A and B are shown apart, each in its own frame.
Chain A
Amino acid sequence: MSKLLQIRILKSGLHTSIQDLGRSGWQCMGVPLSGAMDGISHQLANWLVGNNSAVPTLEMTLVGPSIEFQGDAVFAITGANMNPTVDGEKIQMWKSIEINKGGTLEFSRTTAGARAYLAIQGGWQVEEWLGSVSRLPGRQDILPDNVIQVGFVIEIEVQGRAIQRSISETVKRAVLGPRTIRILPGPEYDFFDAVWIKEFGAQNHTIDKDSNRMGIRIEQHLAGIEQLGPMISSGVTPGTLQITRDGQPILLSVDGPTTGGYHRLAQVIHADLHHLGQLKPGGEIHFEWVDLQAAYIAGGHLRQELQFIS
């Protein structure tokens, strides 16, 4: 028998939103993919509570919310470590946890990573648009309740199934991994100076404060970019690394545009795309140039590690 669980937001955190796997197929209309920025942590959280990976989770950014459970529930937290507690007691991440009616789940500032994901067992009663619960950037009129504010109540139809799952250290390592983002040459790679390209891969880079779900800016300005000449706008996807007119590298993410007029230096391999969700403004990032073959092998490894959730 199912019953309706209500969770109430006591503190919103810095930027907390309801996310899923996003919407595909509308890119030709300029609609971004959206969805969880660290899609793997999102899926693992859902697996821990026995939900399908398409069920929404709460994506919490840098500083997490406080949430009151108005009924018994099973939840799990993955991704960034925001030191979660239940009624003041420290709890484990990467593990299914039972909470009783009246319990309060609290998060603080992250100590590792940028985004944490909270899955709660059951069917979330959340509005969708074009097949996803994710807010379209710049359009507060569509899905107005999917970015969380104080006082919001989310309703979840709970089945009440007992479940005890946890994520092994091996999988956690494969998912969290070293923070090196592997990149492939982008469509305009040949426009760039070979020495500069090599240096770009050898250096450590700092992530600009002005980074979000649309894009991650790198604190660097490449000189001489105007010599590259004009470019005719063309498609871009999450993981496209473009160099702006003033020479700044921007790594586009899930809410980013679908077309752009900047030179596309590189593209993040698909096995590393989820890492974008864990990059912290002010933190460091390191890129490694790889080839297509290496990219497909890396994708195969990741899928093998995650076979248990498919």
Chain B
Amino acid sequence: MKIKPFGDKAILLQFEDRIHPDIHSLVIHFLQVLKNKNIAGVQYYVPAFASITIGFDPQLWHFDDLAERISRFWSKIYSTPNVEKEGAMLRIPVCFDDQYALDRAELCAEIDMGWSDVIDLFTSTTYTVYMIGFLPGFPYLGLLPPKLACARKGVPRKKVPAQSVGLAGRQAGIYPSNSPGGWQIIGSTPVKPFDPMRSEYFLFESGVKVTFQQISTSSYKDITRQLEDSPDGVEAFYV
């Protein structure tokens, strides 16, 4: 892990620069260690695939001093075996019917697979939230099985509907709001990644495990109605 300056009020912890479950577990583990230290003057953390960005108050810290402090914590981690914790697991219902699977034809042609095989493979894999970013509450989930790896759309869509489930590279993502976007859309979930009506606004956080479960259009509508009536009902999707 390398500690780099990121301007004069942020630090970048750059882990081995690969998308890999072991590297990401280390990111999440060290993030937890740092958070538990409650370092005064540290304002925020942005964990990503192989990095952590740490924002700090430049009145309280200069880069060198905070970097030294962090490297001391790191040296202790490095010699401690990284124990895999049993984290939270979410099972997200997804409807893959045509009205939601906007890029079905394009994707099947690109990866040369039948639609039902795509759904089977997609729903039989367990994913990890590698990062939240791009939009408030947007989870980057990985890793997709190599067979499902696909390119982003050549021309991004001007408006991807909120709650669309998309694929890009070896990642899956869920759009929390309507937004322009280039991911290949394979379905939609009735569960909002970000809902200001809930007591917990954000469904996902980095490190959480996720699986997907196929549902019908009528079940999609039922769940949508139930969650409108009681937004905190999302708890039912934690396994």
Q: Name the contact of B7 in the complex, choosing from A27, A130, A268, A303 (C-beta under 8 A).
A: A268
A294 to B, closest residue via Cβ: B8
Size category, A interface: 35 or more
Whether the pair B136, A29 counts as a contact (CB closer than 8 A) is yes
Q: Could you tell me if A28 and B46 are in contact, using CB atoms closer than 8 angstroms?
A: yes
A104 on the B face (CB < 8 A) = no
Given contacts A24-B44, A258-B46, A235 and B137 within 8 Å (CB-CB): no
Majority SS of interface residues in chain B? loop
> Known contacts A27-B44, A235-B51, A269-B7: does B137 contact A138 (CB below 8 Å)?
no
Given that A234-B51, A235-B12, A235-B48 are known contacts, is A28 also in contact with B132, CB under 8 Å in the complex? yes
Q: Assess whether B50 is interfacial by the CB under 8 Å rule.
A: yes
Q: How far is the CA of A237 from the CA of B11 in the complex (A)?
A: 11
Q: Given contacts A136-B136, A141-B196, A292-B5, are A299 and B58 in contact (CB under 8 A)? A: yes
Range class of the B interface residue count? 35 or more
Contacting residue for B55 out of A27, A186, A292, CB 8 A = A27
Question: Across the two chains, which residue of chain B brings its CB closest to A235?
Answer: B53
- Chain B residue nearest to A231 in the complex (CB): B17
Q: Which residues of B contact A269 (CB under 8 A)?
A: 7-8
* In the assembled complex, B214 has its CB within 8 A of some CB on chain A: no
Given contacts A27-B46, A30-B133, contact A233 B6 (CB under 8 A): no
Residue among A234, A239, A269, A303 with most chain B CB within 10 A: A234
Nearest Cβ in chain B — how far from A272, in angstroms? 10
Residue from A24, A136, A259, A267 within 8 A of B48 (CB atoms): A259
Closest to B45 in A: A28
Q: Would you call A28 and B135 a contact (CB within 8 A)? A: no
Interchain CB contact under 8 A, B49 and A232: yes
A232 to B53, CA, bound (A): 13
> Contacts A28-B205, A234-B51 given: A295-B8 contact, CB under 8 Å?
yes
Q: When the two chains form the complex, which single residue of B48, B49, B55, B202 contacts A29, counting CB atoms closer than 8 Å?
A: B202
Name the distance in Å between B23's Cβ and chain A's nearest Cβ.
10
**B205 in contact with A29 (CB, 8 Å):** yes
A215 contacts across to B, CB distance below 8 A: none
Residues of B within 8 A of A25 (CB): 43-44
Q: Is the CB of A138 within 8 A of B133?
A: no
- Number of interchain pairs (Cβ within 8 Å): 130
B144 within 8 Å of A (CB atoms): no
B132 A234 Cβ-Cβ under 8 A:
no
Chain B stretch 160-205: residues in CB contact (< 8 A) with chain A: 177-179, 194, 196, 201-202, 205
Docked complex: A124-180 residues within 8 A CB-CB of B = 129-130, 136, 138-139, 141-142
User: Which of A184, A257, A267, A303 is the one whose CB lies under 8 Å from B133?
Assistant: A257
Docked Cα-Cα span, A187 to B134, in Å, equals 19
**Complex contacts, A299 vs chain B, CB 8 Å:** 8, 58-59
Q: Is B206's beta carbon under 8 Å from chain A?
A: yes
State whether the Cβ of B10 lies closer than 8 Å to any Cβ in chain A.
yes
A270 within 8 A of B: yes
Measured CB to CB, the residues of A under 8 A from B are 24-32, 129-130, 136, 138-139, 141-142, 184-187, 232-237, 239-240, 257-260, 264, 267-270, 292, 295-296, 299, 303
Would you list 30 pairs from A and B whose C-beta atoms are within 8 A, ordered by A residue?
A24-B55, A27-B55, A28-B45, A28-B205, A29-B194, A30-B132, A30-B133, A138-B179, A139-B136, A139-B177, A184-B7, A184-B8, A185-B5, A233-B140, A234-B51, A235-B48, A235-B52, A237-B6, A237-B7, A239-B7, A240-B7, A259-B131, A269-B7, A269-B8, A270-B58, A292-B5, A295-B7, A295-B8, A296-B8, A299-B8
**Residues of chain B at the chain A interface (Cβ within 8 Å):** 4-10, 12, 14, 17-19, 43-53, 55, 58-59, 62-63, 131-138, 140, 177-179, 194, 196, 201-202, 205-206
